[in-house]
Structure 1
Amino acid sequence: MTDSLVLEQLEQALRIPIIDGMHAQGDLLVIPARLLDEVAPRPNALWRYVPPGGVEVLRGPAGGNPHTLVAEPGSCRWTTELYDPAGLALGMFVASTVAYLMHPEHGATGSAPGAYVIRRQRENSNFGARLVVD
């Protein structure tokens, strides 16, 4: 194999989709905040910048793999202090550059600059609604 072919394959393996709309990653949904009128930060919510090591948004059951929000330093703020009547929101982030949700099994997805809510997915069955577990 030539060096350029190896580099091309490596580059293709590292491409991360950057999405400016709703997207899913396993048992989570990333939804532009503008689409969720009923979800909002609580008054005086504490916003923190996403640290260099990221923010663990959700870990799978029994110590499973984490979904981690990462971003360039100083470019993304995060809060878990939300008003959400459905009780599905885990947090909201506001990013001035691309922010990434990473997972060891699902890979990574990028969210274009903007405000997003990260929510649990739920599904309906004959036994009622339940959270999707990944």
Structure 2
Amino acid sequence: MSITAETIRTPDTAEAVSHPEFGVLPATLDIPLDTVIHRIDDVAAQGDVLISKANSRRAKTALTEPVEIIDAQFGGNPHTLHPDGDCFWDAELGAELKLGVLTVAKGARAFLFHREHGGLEIAPGTYRIGRQREFAESWQRVAD
């Protein structure tokens, strides 16, 4: 199910907004009016980011505020994780493709936003989040 951000918030909204399907959304979300949000619980891609359910260890570092998992230093828009409830994020520093592990506790959710690719509501569970790559005579990261 997807919704447009127009039903969630207006540009001048400064606090959390309630939506009948998605409930109260974090006040940290600063998203354009045409953003579409998809709910995921298994695997999804967002531009050059790939999210997949993991059977690996759970993340242990509390995610209490938004974090850019891919920043905009190379000219693009950042991919930003927003916690809503008990979420945990262990970044893989220095890793080429694996960005980290996200654990969303039961009863919580996380949001991943990108200004061009929209939003993902991530259901409870543990996920591997990494960079995508493509093959064009040799392996290379997907450019966003």
When normalised by structure 1's length, the TM-score is 0.71
Matches within 5 A, 1:78-93: 78-81=89-92, 87-93=96-102
SS at match of 1:92: strand
Quote how far apart the aligned CAs of 1:67 are. 0.3
- Which runs of 5 or more structure 2 residues have no equivalent in the other structure? 9-33
- Structure number with bigger Rg: 1
User: Residue 133 of structure 1 is aligned with which of 134, 140, 143?
Assistant: 143
| 8 A Cα contact 2:59 2:126, kept in partner | no
**Kindly, what percent of the aligned residue pairs are identical?**
37
> How many residues were matched structurally?
113
| 8 A Cα contact 1:47 1:77, kept in partner | yes
Quote how far apart the aligned CAs of 1:92 are. 0.5
- The aligned counterpart of 1:4 is none
Higher relative contact order (CA closer than 8 Å, sequence separation 6+): 1
Q: What amino acid is the match of 2:61?
A: R
Q: What amino acid is the match of 2:101?
A: M
Quote how far apart the aligned CAs of 1:61 are. 5.4
SS at match of 2:100: strand
Q: What amino acid is the match of 2:140?
A: R
RMSD (CA atoms): 2.8
Q: What amino acid is the match of 1:131?
A: R
Cα distance in structure 1, aligned partners of 2:61 and 2:120: 21
Runs of 4+ aligned structure 1 residues displaced above 4 Å come to 12-15
- Which runs of 5 or more structure 1 residues have no equivalent in the other structure? 1-7, 35-39
Deviations 1:42-63 (A, max 9, x none): xxx98322123x1110024524
SS at match of 1:50: coil
